[in-house]
Chains A and B, each alone.
Chain A
Amino acid sequence: MRKRILMLSTLLVLGVLFMTPIFAQTEGETGGTSAWYLVLPAFAMALASAVCGLGQSKAIVAACESVSRNPGAADSIRFFLILGLVLIESLALYTLLIILIT
């Protein structure tokens, strides 16, 4: 546990040190000319998809365990599972929509 904390804090410090070129940006470099704007939609979509994947995995795990506990209710659980998965998926799709619009 301590080793993990040490490793993560080292990575954090190194990451911050590597980010120092960002202070070299002059005042005029805002808007579409900055290079970060090329990757910003990809970062946003990656974050949305990752968190969507986590949320959907929790739903699927709960559904699988409850079906294994009570196979007779499989139809009802399948309905709730599909409904829940699609509702969570639509949250990631809102991010995709914003990316497609701009």
Chain B
Amino acid sequence: MEHHFWFSSLLNKLLGPAVVYIGGLLGAEFQNPAEPIPSAVAHLLLVAVLLMVFFWWLRRKLSVESPSGWQHILEVVVLGVRDLMDSIIGPHGRKYLPFHISLGTFIFLSNLIGLVPELESPTANINVTAGCAIIVFLYYNWIGIREQGLLNYLKHFAGPVIFIAPLMIPVEILSHLARPFSLSVRLFANIFGEDMIIIVLTALLPFILPLPIMSLAIFTSLLQAFVFVILSIVYISGAAEQHEAHAH
């Protein structure tokens, strides 16, 4: 359903010709040169800009003696994710904290923005969720290779004993490939399914019937962002195991 959102039309009017020009230099062809930026990408950029402005504004107001309300909330979020990482990865995992907080707030805000009447969730598009999942996949593999070395990391695929390696390697590879698939499909189906339910209920009884589902959607937006971050932390802890005796 090609609903034209005011924000993506605005962005296409402003940046459309530049994108078509740059795309022409790179050899890309657009299906509709009047609107080269898809609405999911436009809303993704909106979420990114909103987050950057919010964190920049909050950083200027940070203070130890008299913290503001938003500082309290963000402290709860940051300390909560940090304690979660400590319990799953260990204290040496603190360097992965900024990635997870930015991923979590990005996914949360982009899930939430779909509830605003004339905006669309970028995560209601499989391409955006697949992008987030692929980033997590590449990131945890890169961390594993960097922490343990390429050969040592690949040895984990062979299982505990070398004799069952021909059985374990396809199973391990398949389960590793299933991870970004399940991450992206989980987030996409949750958010897109919520949007579909809201659309159907709006068709039945416009301003009243969707309200309980929208309040549930706020909760599931938070939950899905939380679970995405938790699974990313668990995958990193599995990849960067620090030579302890692990039961595969």
* Chain A residues close to B by CB (< 8 Å): 79, 82-83, 86, 89-90, 93-94, 96-97, 100
Nearest 6 interchain pairs by C-beta? A93-B189, A90-B186, A86-B227, A97-B189, A96-B189, A97-B185
Q: Is the pair B226, A82 in contact by a Cβ cutoff of 8 Å?
A: yes
SS class, residues of chain B in contact with chain A? helix
Q: Given known contacts A90-B186, A100-B192, what 16 new A-B pairs fall within 8 Å (CB)?
A: A79-B84, A79-B230, A82-B227, A82-B230, A83-B227, A83-B230, A86-B223, A86-B224, A89-B186, A90-B182, A90-B185, A93-B186, A93-B190, A97-B185, A97-B188, A97-B189
A79 contact set on B, CB distance < 8 A: 84, 230
Most buried by A among B185, B186, B192: B186
Contact string, B181-209, partner A, CB cutoff 8 A, digits 1/0?
01001101110110010000000000000
From A82, A86, A100, contact of B186 by CB (8 A): A86
* Chain B residues close to A by CB (< 8 Å): 84, 182, 185-186, 188-190, 192-193, 196, 223-224, 226-227, 230
Q: Which residue of chain A is the closest to B186 with respect to CB atoms?
A: A90
- Bound complex: CA A93 to CA B224 (Å): 13
A101 CB to nearest chain B CB (Å): 9
- Bound complex: CA A79 to CA B229 (Å): 13
Q: Is the pair B185, A93 in contact by a Cβ cutoff of 8 Å?
A: yes
B186 contact set on A, CB distance < 8 A: 86, 89-90, 93
- Bound complex: CA A27 to CA B224 (Å): 47
A78 CB to nearest chain B CB (Å): 12
B196 contact set on A, CB distance < 8 A: 100
B200 CB to nearest chain A CB (Å): 13
Q: Is the pair B189, A94 in contact by a Cβ cutoff of 8 Å?
A: yes
B182 contact set on A, CB distance < 8 A: 90
Q: Is the pair B193, A93 in contact by a Cβ cutoff of 8 Å?
A: yes
